[in-house]
Amino acid sequence: DTAVSQTPKYLVTQMGNDKSIKCEQNLGHDTMYWYKQDSKKFLKIMFSYNNKELIINETVPNRFSPKSPDKAHLNLHINSLELGDSAVYFCASSHRKQWGAEAFFGQGTRLTVV
């Protein structure tokens, strides 16, 4: 039973298109994140939501918009895709007030913009 699941796993699309990546967690966590991992494998946080409220919004282009319909879901919508958006996007979740504070990651969505 997958704890954090993202769809799709692979996404190949043309420049200028709009695409969405979905994420769901069944761990009962109250905080969810989107991370971007570039070609050098560096994981960088993009957004964080706690109980459907945006709490972190790093310097990310406005073309990226997270949407959290409920605590268990955090989707990422990207408008007007650019070549530089090609990366692996990871969703993660954690429990804000649980000792240990570890984050669990999904398997990633490999986005290729052509």
Partner 1 sequence: QKEVEQDPGPLSVPEGAIVSLNCTYSNSAFQYFMWYRQYSRKGPELLMYTYSSGNKEDGRFTAQVDKSSKYISLFIRDSQPSDSATYLCAMSANYGQNFVFGPGTRLSVLP
Under the rule (CB under 8 A), what is the footprint of partner 1? 4, 31, 33, 35, 40-45, 48, 50, 55-56, 90, 92, 94-108, 110
Query: 48 vs 68, which CB is nearer to partner 1?
Result: 48
Tokens for 109, please give them. Answer: 């969505």
CB of 56 to partner 1, least distance (A): 7
Check: CB of residue 93 under 8 Å from CB of residue 28.
Answer: no
CB of 11 to partner 1, least distance (A): 14
Using CB atoms within 10 Å of the CB of residue 74, give its burial: 0 to 12 exposed, 13 to 18 middle, 19+ buried: buried
Please name the residues in contact with 44: beta carbons below 8 A apart, sequence gap of 6 or more. Answer: 35, 36, 37, 38, 58
Query: 28 vs 82, which CB is nearer to partner 1?
Result: 28
Cis before 66 (ω within 30): no
Query: 75 vs 93, which CB is nearer to partner 1?
Result: 93
CB of 112 to partner 1, least distance (A): 13
Query: 18 vs 38, which CB is nearer to partner 1?
Result: 38
